[in-house]
Every structure is written in structure tokens, then in C-alpha cells.
Structure 1
């Protein structure tokens, strides 16, 4: 877990987070740019939570449950870096989803900064990618603020414009 001056706290998702996960991922507002639409059921939330917990168990990292530092028991979103299949190619992907009440406060950028620091400084990963729908201007701005550069496109949604792929490589330091 990164040590920063963050307004946010991060922890591994826990079984007790399933209701909050469903509340956020099942909200139509948080899925405006998700071609799959809102999560349909609590069972879907449980499957996603189980997947995240399995990633933590096998990879040692994954999406975090995110809360404000002053209210650590109230989850406002989920996000971080985790392996994701970009069609046939496996990439380390930066992703997030926040409750509507947390929008517009810079939390996505803060989470992104902290997740990238963990990816590069703690895990030593060589690069991290971000996948975003081409009409999702707010998320594109977040990726750009984080220093991610356009890398290409991914034709991942049949009948829709390709998603945009951004990438950031691990900074080269004097120590190597």
C-alpha cells in the first residue's frame, strides 16, 4: 500500500464489501460509458469480488477498496492496477469506479497517482495501461493528468468505436 499524503485510504477488498460494490457498480450513472451497462445482481458483485480477492491471493496486488481518510469505513469506490486481458493480450491495467457522490473531487487522479507509484516503485512493473471509451472525456483527462500517453486503440466493443489505450512506462531513475 502506498505511503502518501493522500486524502484516501486503500485496502484489499473484503467479503463485507459486496453490498457497496453492488451499489457502485449497479448504479446506471457510474456505468454511462460502460457498454455492458450496470451490474445486474448481487451475485454478479460477489463474482467480481471473488475475482479481485483471487488476484490479490495469486498476484499480491489488485484493485483496492477506497475510502476517504476521515471516513475509512465508507467505501467511495474501487480501483487500482491489476492484470486485465486486452482481447488476447494480458496487460497491467489502471482502472477505477467511484460512487457518483465522489465525482468531481480529484479522487480518480489521486487514486491513479497512488496506484502508479505502487506499480512502479513497489512492484517494479515496466508499464501500466489504461483503457477508456473514446467519449469518456473525464477519464481521458485523468489519464492525461497522470502522464499516460495515447498508445493505440482496442476494438473491444462490437458495433462501437474502439476503446482508447493509454500507456505509462516506469520512469528511469538514476538508480536504474
Structure 2
């Protein structure tokens, strides 16, 4: 891990984050590789935020609200590790969505390192997965930088090429 000062702060999302969540998840630019497209209704943002808060309440972890250290009240994204259904199989998934203003600055890689540290050092998960659309080169590069390796494909979007699945195992776990 690089010896650099952290640039991001993370916190559990709160109900007051719904407008910022909607702004980021509703931006067509942040959904270029999302087959479902941008979020179009504030109600959808409320439902997503409610799911995240339920995850935090029942499991004690989940996606974080993310801000720059120098501007902790301005959220630039959401992400972290949380369970996700890969069709019928539940996996611990690393994911993120950043506002366009935060792109190209290495924040996804920094978030990923911090999320994997939580997943392995604190939560002691045996493995973490990443699910990415096959044409999303930037996210694939982030997963590779973080040490995730190709694991397979998931035919999760009808009529589209399968998503790529990446995996990284706990540093003390030998892959099976």
C-alpha cells in the first residue's frame, strides 16, 4: 500500500444524504456502464438509502458516504463493501459510485484499498468480489490495481454481454 496521507473520509450514510445520492446516481454520466440507466425518481434514492441503512443496522457495515478530507460536508460518492446477490449467490461485493467531479483522481482506488482493509482486517471476510460491465475499462483497472483477479462471468443483464466477476482472497486464505 502506498505511504500517502488519506484524502477521503467515510461515514455511515444518513437520511439527509438522499438528495446527494439522487444527484450522483441520477447523473447520466455516472451511469454510462449501468444497464439500468440513471436513477430517475427521488423515491428510488430513498429506497436505496433505506436498504443501505438496514444493512448498517443489521450487519454493522455497508456502503459509506464519501467526502474529501478538506470538504467533509460535500459528498463526492458512495461505496465500500456490502452483500450483493450475484443472481442466486450472495457475495461480499466491492462497489462505488463517484460524482463526475471526483473522477480521474484515484479516489476509487483509495476507497477500494480502505474497503478491502475493513473487509479483511476488521470483518475477516475470506474473499471479496467485484462485478463490472465488460466494457468498463476504468473500473476494471481499479479492481486490478487492488489485486482482484478475473474469477468468471455473470450473465446478469438479459440481452447484453455477461458482467465480469473479479475476486480477491483474504491475505491469509489460500484460494480454493
Normalising by structure 2, we get a TM-score of 0.95
- Write out per-residue CA displacement over residues 72-124 of structure 1, whole angstroms, 9 at most, x where no aligned residue: 00000000000000000000000000000000000000000000000000100
Partner of 1:150: 150
Q: Structure 2: state its 5+ residue gaps.
A: none
Give the whole-Å Cα distance in 1 for the aligned partners of 2:150 and 2:102. Answer: 26
Q: What corresponds to 1:71 in structure 2?
A: 71
Classify the secondary structure of the residue corresponding to 1:84.
strand
Q: How many residues align?
A: 170
Q: Which runs of 4+ in 1 moved over 6 A?
A: none
- Between the aligned partners of 2:121 and 2:93, the Cα distance in structure 1 is 16
> Is there any run of 5+ residues in structure 1 with no aligned partner, and where?
none
- Residue 75 of structure 1: SS of its match in structure 2? strand
1:1-176 alignment, distance < 5 Å = 5-172=5-172
Q: CA deviation at 1:132?
A: 0.1
**Could you say what the CA RMSD is over the residues aligned between the two structures, in angstroms?**
1.0
Q: Matched residues in 2 for 1:17 and 1:44: separation?
A: 13
| 2:71 aligned counterpart, secondary structure | coil
TM-score by length of 1: 0.95
